[in-house]
Amino acid sequence: MFQNIVLAFAALAGLASAAPATIQERGLSDTYHKYTGDGSTKAGWPADSAWGDFNSLWNANLPLIKQSCGWNGWGADNSADEISHLKSAITQVASETGVQSRFILLIVMQESKGCVRVPTTGNGVRNPGLMQSHNGKGTCAGVNPCPQSQILQMIRDGTAGTSSGDGLKQTTAKTLAHFGGKSQPAVYYAAARLYNSGSVDYAHLENAFGSTPCYASDVANRAHGWTLAKSTC
Protein backbone atom coordinates (compact mmCIF):
# COMPACT_ATOMS: atom_id res chain seq x y z
CA MET A 1 0.00 0.00 0.00
CA PHE A 2 1.09 3.61 -0.53
CA GLN A 3 3.66 4.34 2.17
CA ASN A 4 5.20 7.71 1.28
CA ILE A 5 2.67 10.35 0.26
CA VAL A 6 4.01 13.90 0.71
CA LEU A 7 1.68 16.89 0.61
CA ALA A 8 3.00 20.29 -0.38
CA PHE A 9 2.01 21.96 2.87
CA ALA A 10 3.44 25.32 1.84
CA ALA A 11 0.83 25.45 -0.89
CA LEU A 12 -1.91 24.74 1.66
CA ALA A 13 -1.27 27.67 3.98
CA GLY A 14 -4.37 29.59 2.98
CA LEU A 15 -6.55 26.51 3.06
CA ALA A 16 -5.17 25.35 6.40
CA SER A 17 -6.06 28.64 8.05
CA ALA A 18 -9.65 28.33 6.87
CA ALA A 19 -10.15 24.61 7.46
CA PRO A 20 -10.36 24.34 11.28
CA ALA A 21 -13.49 26.48 11.64
CA THR A 22 -15.33 24.39 9.06
CA ILE A 23 -14.23 21.16 10.69
CA GLN A 24 -15.15 22.36 14.19
CA GLU A 25 -18.64 23.12 12.98
CA ARG A 26 -18.99 19.42 12.25
CA GLY A 27 -17.66 18.31 15.63
CA LEU A 28 -14.34 17.20 14.14
CA SER A 29 -10.83 18.23 15.06
CA ASP A 30 -7.93 18.79 12.66
CA THR A 31 -5.33 17.74 15.21
CA TYR A 32 -2.85 14.88 15.45
CA HIS A 33 -2.11 12.66 18.44
CA LYS A 34 0.34 9.78 18.17
CA TYR A 35 -1.37 6.54 19.21
CA THR A 36 0.53 3.41 20.18
CA GLY A 37 -0.38 0.09 21.71
CA ASP A 38 -3.33 -2.18 21.15
CA GLY A 39 -5.93 0.16 19.64
CA SER A 40 -8.16 0.11 22.72
CA THR A 41 -9.84 3.09 24.31
CA LYS A 42 -8.00 2.09 27.50
CA ALA A 43 -4.75 2.78 25.60
CA GLY A 44 -6.14 6.16 24.56
CA TRP A 45 -7.33 5.36 21.04
CA PRO A 46 -10.59 7.03 19.90
CA ALA A 47 -13.81 5.10 20.36
CA ASP A 48 -15.71 4.63 17.13
CA SER A 49 -18.48 6.75 18.66
CA ALA A 50 -15.99 9.65 18.49
CA TRP A 51 -15.54 9.21 14.75
CA GLY A 52 -17.21 11.67 12.43
CA ASP A 53 -20.08 10.36 10.35
CA PHE A 54 -19.46 9.74 6.68
CA ASN A 55 -20.80 13.05 5.38
CA SER A 56 -18.87 15.07 7.98
CA LEU A 57 -15.64 13.26 7.18
CA TRP A 58 -16.27 13.61 3.45
CA ASN A 59 -16.79 17.37 3.76
CA ALA A 60 -13.72 17.75 5.97
CA ASN A 61 -11.57 15.95 3.37
CA LEU A 62 -13.15 17.52 0.30
CA PRO A 63 -10.59 20.37 0.05
CA LEU A 64 -7.83 17.73 -0.13
CA ILE A 65 -9.73 15.58 -2.60
CA LYS A 66 -10.18 18.56 -4.90
CA GLN A 67 -6.46 19.39 -5.14
CA SER A 68 -4.38 16.41 -4.00
CA CYS A 69 -3.47 15.28 -7.53
CA GLY A 70 -1.85 18.58 -8.41
CA TRP A 71 -0.19 19.07 -5.01
CA ASN A 72 1.53 15.72 -5.33
CA GLY A 73 2.44 15.96 -9.01
CA TRP A 74 0.11 13.14 -10.02
CA GLY A 75 -1.61 14.92 -12.90
CA ALA A 76 -4.77 16.98 -13.28
CA ASP A 77 -6.82 17.58 -10.17
CA ASN A 78 -10.03 15.61 -9.76
CA SER A 79 -12.94 16.99 -11.74
CA ALA A 80 -16.36 17.58 -10.19
CA ASP A 81 -17.64 14.44 -11.93
CA GLU A 82 -14.74 12.33 -10.67
CA ILE A 83 -15.32 13.56 -7.13
CA SER A 84 -19.02 12.76 -7.37
CA HIS A 85 -18.24 9.28 -8.74
CA LEU A 86 -15.79 8.68 -5.89
CA LYS A 87 -18.37 9.49 -3.23
CA SER A 88 -20.97 7.32 -4.94
CA ALA A 89 -18.51 4.44 -5.31
CA ILE A 90 -17.68 4.48 -1.61
CA THR A 91 -21.33 4.37 -0.56
CA GLN A 92 -22.16 1.70 -3.15
CA VAL A 93 -19.30 -0.61 -2.18
CA ALA A 94 -20.05 -0.09 1.51
CA SER A 95 -23.57 -1.37 0.82
CA GLU A 96 -22.23 -4.30 -1.22
CA THR A 97 -19.64 -5.43 1.32
CA GLY A 98 -20.95 -4.35 4.71
CA VAL A 99 -17.77 -2.34 5.37
CA GLN A 100 -18.52 1.07 6.87
CA SER A 101 -18.41 3.86 4.28
CA ARG A 102 -16.46 6.08 6.65
CA PHE A 103 -13.80 3.38 7.14
CA ILE A 104 -13.44 3.05 3.36
CA LEU A 105 -13.05 6.83 3.11
CA LEU A 106 -10.34 6.87 5.81
CA ILE A 107 -8.29 4.30 3.89
CA VAL A 108 -8.79 6.17 0.60
CA MET A 109 -7.42 9.32 2.22
CA GLN A 110 -4.55 7.42 3.84
CA GLU A 111 -3.53 5.71 0.61
CA SER A 112 -4.12 8.33 -2.09
CA LYS A 113 -5.56 11.52 -0.56
CA GLY A 114 -8.52 10.82 -2.86
CA CYS A 115 -6.59 11.46 -6.10
CA VAL A 116 -8.07 9.26 -8.81
CA ARG A 117 -4.82 9.48 -10.79
CA VAL A 118 -2.59 8.27 -7.95
CA PRO A 119 0.40 6.27 -9.29
CA THR A 120 0.72 2.54 -8.92
CA THR A 121 3.35 1.52 -6.40
CA GLY A 122 5.12 -1.75 -5.79
CA ASN A 123 7.34 -3.24 -3.14
CA GLY A 124 7.16 -6.86 -4.14
CA VAL A 125 3.42 -6.45 -4.77
CA ARG A 126 1.70 -4.20 -7.32
CA ASN A 127 -0.51 -1.65 -5.52
CA PRO A 128 -2.74 0.38 -7.86
CA GLY A 129 -5.57 2.84 -7.42
CA LEU A 130 -7.30 4.94 -4.83
CA MET A 131 -6.78 2.33 -2.10
CA GLN A 132 -3.44 1.00 -3.39
CA SER A 133 -5.03 -2.44 -3.53
CA HIS A 134 -3.29 -5.81 -3.66
CA ASN A 135 -2.73 -6.22 -7.40
CA GLY A 136 -6.17 -4.85 -8.25
CA LYS A 137 -7.59 -4.16 -11.70
CA GLY A 138 -8.69 -0.57 -11.11
CA THR A 139 -6.36 2.34 -11.85
CA CYS A 140 -6.42 5.73 -13.53
CA ALA A 141 -2.72 6.50 -13.24
CA GLY A 142 -2.00 8.86 -16.13
CA VAL A 143 -5.63 8.77 -17.30
CA ASN A 144 -7.80 11.86 -17.66
CA PRO A 145 -10.72 11.78 -17.34
CA CYS A 146 -11.00 8.76 -15.05
CA PRO A 147 -14.09 6.72 -16.00
CA GLN A 148 -16.74 6.06 -13.37
CA SER A 149 -16.25 2.32 -13.94
CA GLN A 150 -12.59 2.55 -12.97
CA ILE A 151 -13.30 4.61 -9.85
CA LEU A 152 -15.81 1.98 -8.76
CA GLN A 153 -13.33 -0.80 -9.54
CA MET A 154 -10.61 0.87 -7.46
CA ILE A 155 -12.92 1.07 -4.45
CA ARG A 156 -14.08 -2.52 -4.94
CA ASP A 157 -10.50 -3.78 -5.20
CA GLY A 158 -9.48 -2.15 -1.94
CA THR A 159 -12.64 -2.99 -0.03
CA ALA A 160 -13.85 -6.35 -1.32
CA GLY A 161 -10.32 -7.62 -2.01
CA THR A 162 -8.81 -9.15 -5.12
CA SER A 163 -7.82 -12.61 -6.28
CA SER A 164 -4.31 -11.75 -5.08
CA GLY A 165 -4.99 -10.37 -1.63
CA ASP A 166 -7.30 -9.07 1.07
CA GLY A 167 -9.35 -5.91 1.11
CA LEU A 168 -10.93 -4.18 4.09
CA LYS A 169 -13.75 -6.73 4.17
CA GLN A 170 -11.30 -9.57 4.78
CA THR A 171 -8.96 -7.73 7.15
CA THR A 172 -11.90 -6.56 9.27
CA ALA A 173 -13.33 -10.08 9.38
CA LYS A 174 -9.97 -11.39 10.60
CA THR A 175 -9.57 -8.80 13.33
CA LEU A 176 -13.21 -9.15 14.41
CA ALA A 177 -12.64 -12.89 14.79
CA HIS A 178 -9.54 -12.19 16.87
CA PHE A 179 -11.66 -10.15 19.28
CA GLY A 180 -14.24 -12.91 19.57
CA GLY A 181 -16.76 -11.22 17.32
CA LYS A 182 -17.03 -8.25 19.67
CA SER A 183 -17.09 -5.01 17.71
CA GLN A 184 -14.77 -2.39 19.18
CA PRO A 185 -12.55 0.37 17.79
CA ALA A 186 -9.45 -1.84 17.92
CA VAL A 187 -11.09 -4.03 15.26
CA TYR A 188 -10.77 -1.21 12.72
CA TYR A 189 -7.35 0.03 13.76
CA ALA A 190 -5.96 -3.51 13.64
CA ALA A 191 -7.70 -4.08 10.29
CA ALA A 192 -5.98 -0.96 8.95
CA ARG A 193 -2.64 -2.27 10.21
CA LEU A 194 -3.30 -5.61 8.53
CA TYR A 195 -4.32 -3.90 5.29
CA ASN A 196 -1.06 -1.95 5.21
CA SER A 197 1.35 -4.61 6.46
CA GLY A 198 -0.24 -7.98 5.76
CA SER A 199 0.47 -8.84 9.40
CA VAL A 200 -0.62 -7.42 12.73
CA ASP A 201 0.82 -7.35 16.25
CA TYR A 202 -2.37 -6.83 18.23
CA ALA A 203 -0.49 -5.49 21.25
CA HIS A 204 1.56 -2.98 19.28
CA LEU A 205 -0.21 -1.58 16.22
CA GLU A 206 2.81 0.63 15.54
CA ASN A 207 4.74 -2.55 14.65
CA ALA A 208 4.78 -2.12 10.88
CA PHE A 209 6.55 -5.28 9.71
CA GLY A 210 8.52 -3.13 7.27
CA SER A 211 5.55 -1.01 6.16
CA THR A 212 4.30 2.32 7.56
CA PRO A 213 4.68 2.53 11.38
CA CYS A 214 2.17 5.38 11.77
CA TYR A 215 -0.51 3.82 9.55
CA ALA A 216 -2.99 2.77 12.26
CA SER A 217 -2.36 5.98 14.22
CA ASP A 218 -2.96 8.02 11.05
CA VAL A 219 -6.28 6.26 10.43
CA ALA A 220 -7.38 6.88 14.02
CA ASN A 221 -6.60 10.58 13.62
CA ARG A 222 -8.38 10.79 10.27
CA ALA A 223 -11.45 9.36 11.99
CA HIS A 224 -11.83 12.49 14.11
CA GLY A 225 -11.05 14.95 11.33
CA TRP A 226 -7.27 15.18 10.90
CA THR A 227 -6.46 16.56 7.46
CA LEU A 228 -3.79 19.29 7.44
CA ALA A 229 -2.38 19.55 10.96
CA LYS A 230 1.24 18.49 11.35
CA SER A 231 1.70 14.83 12.25
CA THR A 232 3.60 14.11 15.45
CA CYS A 233 4.15 10.49 14.53
* Sequential DSSP letters for 135-147: S-S---TT-SSPP
Query: Is pLDDT above 50 for 96?
Result: yes
Average pLDDT of every residue of the chain: 90
**99-137: pLDDT as tens digits:** 999 999 999 999 999 999 999 998 789 999 999 999 999
Q: How confident is the model at residue 15 (pLDDT cuts 50, 70, 90)?
A: very low
Report the pLDDT value the prediction gives residue 1, as an integer from 0 to 100.
56
- Distance from chain centroid for Cα 149: 20
SS3 assignment, position 106 = helix
Q: What is the dihedral of CA 88, 89, 90, 95, to 10 degrees?
A: 90
C-alpha span between 110 and 119 (Å, rounded): 14
pTM over 0.75: yes
Degrees to nearest 5, angle at CA 58 with 6 and 122: 35
CATH number at 46-223:
1.10.530
